Amino acid sequence: MKKFVFSVLTVLLVFALAACGNDGDKDSESKVSASSDSSSEKIKTDISSPVEIDFWHAMSGNHEIALQKITDDFNSSQEDITVKLVNQGSYDDLNTKNMAAAKAGNLPALTQAYEDWMTNYIDHDLITDLTPYVTSDEVGLSKEEVDDIVQIFREANTWDGKYYGMPFNKSTQIMYYNVDYFEEAGLNAPTTWDELRDAAEKLTTEKDGRKIVGLGLENSTSSQINQWVLQAGGNYLDEDSGKFLMNSPEGKEALEFLNGMFKDGSARLAGEDGYMSEPFARGDAAIYFGSSAGIPYVAAPAKENGVNWAAAPLPKGKQAATAFAGTNVAIFSSATDDEKLAAWEFIKFLINADNTTYWAMETGYLPVRYSALEKKEWVTFTTDHPEYGVGEKQFDAGFYDPRLAGAYELKNAVAKVIDKVFLGELTEDEGLKSAEEAANKSLKK
């Protein structure tokens, strides 16, 4: 897995160097590492009059309450800047809302954004390069502070060596399992694919007329198929050459592994249940792969139904691989210099060690700083609630979705095909072949 991260890094470096060689009209790229010299980049570093900025987000429920608390703290911590939270519904809503606002020219200063949205926004010059802010002597971050941000999250926010965002609500896939069922069957939490299949088979039963499935997976499994392919030791997409690599023996192994379990009934997708968290919390699934951000959504109903559960890292195939998802915060270029600076100040506050810890404890998202992981409150908290500590154990196995132009369409197009394989409409081989065709078609566009 480290290899993968390393190769991504190399790619980014090559890009950065190539960009530097370009007439050198903007040499900010090189400043990512050399934070000392920032005099040439002109950004505003003090706020002349009070500013109010909007932050468009897609957080709801507990997540929204925690975000509001941090924002209120920020607003009362200083006098000049007021941040107003605007809930835009779901992530998809937020993205379309951003696009519409870009068109109408009424974008906010700050937004949450996934990496693939950001690729698109960068293409249309919609978001600001944050590098000058990061490297600024007056308002920037020190080298130690930059390095303190979890590496994989930092990389995910870097395009051609420039920062376009900062990680905010980052989650990862974890394995939830029903402790009672495992104890009854005398099993331990699986750590490998073989153990996973074995446990899923043994735990698939019927109890008091209720069907219990061994492994419950989200309906979005097909769009997260890269995780399984990487676990099988394969690769999904090479960001460098833009080549789709899933049509490989490893890709086939991943599909056969999943499909085998779907066919013999030891695994199922959420299907009509929408999300798997509730059936799991009701005791209808023994194992459930889900987002760490779903912890509160599992915990509450599980408590109500008296279901004992725990969480563990995902079992590994040939290697461990865990998708890291969740959004970053980015600043729109349409904001005024004052607004940009205000937004940057807020970002720094939002992801400082204290706030990222508070955020993680309230929501199940991960702290985005290494120093937060060592904080006493976090250590005590994860000792009391071990499920919240699972995510960080997987940092080394982490990867994020490809960010090439067209990657979003590619992911969807491939997911459509993989769904057909899961539903038995296509065989694994046919699926891989048409997935490759679909992928190449969306890359060409």
Partner 1 sequence: MQRAAFSKGFIYLVLIIGSVCMLLPFAWMFITSIKSPGEVMMMPPVWIPEDFKWENYKEAWSMAPFARYTINSIIVTVLSTLGELVTTILAAYAFSRMHFYGRDILFSILLGTMMVPGEVLLIPNYVTLSNLGWIDQYQALIIPWLASIFSIFLLRQFFLGIPQELSYAAKIDGCNNFRFLWTIMVPLAKPALITIVLLKAIGSWNSFLWPLIVTQSKEMRTLPVGLTSFSTEAGINYELLMAASTMIILPMIILYFCLQRYIIEGVAKAGIKG
Partner 2 sequence: MIQKPTFTSTWKALLYLLPALVILLTFNIYPIIKSFIMSFYTDYDFFKDIVYEYGLDNFTYIFQDAEFWKSVVNTLVFVIGVVPLSIVISLGIAILLNTKIRFKGIFRSIYFLPFVTSVIAISMVWRWLYHTDYGLINYSLGLFGIEKIAWLTDPQWAMPAIIIMCIWKGLGYNIIIFLAGLQNIDQQLYLAAQIDGAKPWKRFMNITLPMLSPTMFFISIVSVINSFKVFDEVFALFDGKPGPAYSAQTIVYYIFEKFYNEWEFGIASAAAIILFVIIFLITLIQLRLGRSRIIY
Query: With binding defined as CB under 8 A, does residue 386 bind partner 1?
Result: no
Residue 409 binding partner per list partner 1, partner 2, none, with a CB distance cut-off of 5 to 8 Å that depends on partner kind: partner 2
Identify the sign of the CA torsion 327, 332, 335, 336: positive
Residue 86 binding partner per list partner 1, partner 2, none, with a CB distance cut-off of 5 to 8 Å that depends on partner kind: partner 1
Q: For residues 112-151, which are near partner 1 according to CB under 8 A?
A: none
Query: With binding defined as CB under 8 A, does residue 423 bind partner 2?
Result: yes
Identify the sign of the CA torsion 287, 288, 292, 293: negative
Residue 179 binding partner per list partner 1, partner 2, none, with a CB distance cut-off of 5 to 8 Å that depends on partner kind: none
DSSP structural state of residue 325: E
User: ∠353-397-10 over CA atoms, to 5°?
Assistant: 90
**Could you tell me the maximum CA-CA distance found in the chain, to the nearest angstrom?**
73
Of 9, 17, 100, 379, which one interacts with partner 1 (CB under 8 A)?
A: 100
Query: With binding defined as CB under 8 A, does residue 86 bind partner 1?
Result: yes
Burial of 256 (C-beta count, 10 Å sphere; 0-12/13-18/19+): middle
Query: With binding defined as CB under 8 A, does residue 90 bind partner 1?
Result: yes
How long is the chain? 445
Of 7, 75, 87, 319, which one interacts with partner 1 (CB under 8 A)?
A: 87
Of 4, 91, 275, 370, which one interacts with partner 1 (CB under 8 A)?
A: 275
CB 416, min distance to partner 1, A: 20
- Specify the stretch interacting with partner 1 by CB under 8 A; choose among 27-35, 218-226, 266-274, 361-369: 266-274
Residue closer to partner 1, measured from CB, 208 or 384: 208
CB 54, min distance to partner 1, A: 12
CB 118, min distance to partner 2, A: 16
Per-residue mark of binding to partner 1, 199-228 (x: CB under 8 A): ----------x-------------------
Residue closer to partner 1, measured from CB, 105 or 186: 105
Query: With binding defined as CB under 8 A, does residue 274 bind partner 2?
Result: yes
CB 409, min distance to partner 2, A: 6
Residue closer to partner 1, measured from CB, 85 or 187: 85
- Specify the stretch interacting with partner 2 by CB under 8 A; choose among 9-17, 130-138, 168-176, 416-424: 416-424
Residue closer to partner 1, measured from CB, 273 or 428: 273
Residue closer to partner 1, measured from CB, 23 or 272: 272
Of 50, 89, 265, 271, which one interacts with partner 2 (CB under 8 A)?
A: 271
Query: With binding defined as CB under 8 A, does residue 278 bind partner 1?
Result: yes
Query: With binding defined as CB under 8 A, does residue 4 bind partner 1?
Result: no
Of 274, 374, 429, 441, which one interacts with partner 1 (CB under 8 A)?
A: 274
Query: With binding defined as CB under 8 A, does residue 63 bind partner 1?
Result: no
Query: With binding defined as CB under 8 A, does residue 124 bind partner 2?
Result: yes
Query: With binding defined as CB under 8 A, does residue 330 bind partner 2?
Result: no
CB 389, min distance to partner 1, A: 27
SS (H, E, C) the chain: CHHHHHHHHHHHHHHHHHHHCCCCCCCHHHHHCCCCCCCCCCCCCCCCCCEEEEEEECCCHHHHHHHHHHHHHHHHHCCCEEEEEEECCCHHHHHHHHHHHHHHCCCCCEEEECHHHHHHHHHCCCECCCHHHHHCCCCCCCHHHHHHECHHHHHHCEECCEECCEEEEEEEEEEEEEHHHHHHHCCCCCCEHHHHHHHHHHHCEEECCEEEEEEEECHHHHHHHHHHHHHCCCCCEECCCCEECCCCHHHHHHHHHHHHHHHCCCEEECHHHCCCHHHHHCCCEEEEEEEHHHHHHHHHHHHHHCCCEEEECCCECCCCCEEEEEEEEEEECCCCHHHHHHHHHHHHHHCCHHHHHHHHHHHCCECCEHHHHHCHHHHHHHHHCHHHHCHHHHHHHEECCCCCCCHHHHHHHHHHHHHHHHCCCCCHHHHHHHHHHHHHHHHHC
| 8 Å CB contact between 391 and 173 | no
Query: With binding defined as CB under 8 A, does residue 279 bind partner 1?
Result: yes
Residue closer to partner 1, measured from CB, 274 or 386: 274
Residue closer to partner 1, measured from CB, 103 or 376: 103
- The span from the CA of 158 to the CA of 325, in Å, is 15
User: ∠354-358-360 over CA atoms, to 5°?
Assistant: 115
How is residue 33 written in tokens? 């590492």
Number of residues this chain uses to bind partner 2 (CB under 8 A): 16
- Residues that bind partner 2 in the complex, under the rule CB under 8 A: 96, 99, 102-103, 124, 126, 211, 271-272, 274, 409, 416, 419-420, 423, 425
- Residues that bind partner 1 in the complex, under the rule CB under 8 A: 86-90, 93, 96-97, 100, 103-106, 209, 272-275, 278-279
